[in-house]
Chains A and B, each alone.
Chain A
Amino acid sequence: MDDLVVTGALGLIGFYLAAVLLLFAIYSVARLLYISLTAGDFGLALGVTVAILVAGSLYLAIGCWLHETDRI
């Protein structure tokens, strides 16, 4: 098979795998948050919420930095 097609196929598999992993991570965090809230463990719920906000802000900050520095 042509090497461009093989590279494309591998890239495609990697892309879909990353999408599945991302969805699984979102599901796991949402589940952890739900369990901690229903169990009354508000310390854990707060910790998870803060972690989500920090990770989300960091992700957006990197995106904004790449944009501002003309890298994307």
Chain B
Amino acid sequence: MNIIVCIKQVPETSEVRIDPETKGLVREGVPAIINPFDENAIEAGVQLVEEHGGKVTVLTMGPPQAESALREALAMGADEAVLVTDRALALSDTLGTSYALSCAIQRIGGYDLVVCGKQTFEGDTAQVPPGIAEHLGIPQITYVIDLEIEGNKVRGRRLLEGYYEVVEARMPVVISVVKQMNEPRRPGLKNVLAAKKKEIQVWDAAECDIEVCHCGLDGSPTRVIRTWTPTREQEGEIIEGEPAEAAEELAEKLAAEKLV
């Protein structure tokens, strides 16, 4: 099986810094990790290849430093890595990003599955995997917690609100996975060192046939015009007293709010 896993490098810190002009994320100098949901995607790809043979190619679009995320993915067991990096792609919204990634995926070619994490820790939109599927003209199965391959078909068990749904489609298919799908492996030192030596393909927009007019700040249909840090309107109330007293007072307040 040939599996392409799309990943994104996101800032590690929970304190994010926004560029006041572009309203985008400040990425330079901020420690970075693979988006946690994407680790599950890598793990899913590696497990499928361990079972069915084939290879995992991990793909990311980002600034040059995103290469370190690819190295982590290689250490986890991905076979090949591609970095698409180009100033013209920076600040793309989800539509621009899914378009650019689909171009890179077509350049890689020969894939059975494209596996993505459900959403990122930044935009939290979950819009890129369906966008990639639409641009490639193939089916999508989202919220996947379990994957099975049967011949030329894939079955994804989806974790929805209060039930599961098992969906089947003929490959190639785009899959987005949830955290509960698996436990991403922590690579040992040997794998990390071996990953350092692997070659990473680096492509710019032109090499992927990406028309940059559809990307970047200007090419993206959505634009962030304002960001702010939400502040609490009022301080919460600390209820003092011995446990029995405090509990009683709390119960009273909750009853007053009709919550009890």
Decide if A and B are genuine partners: no
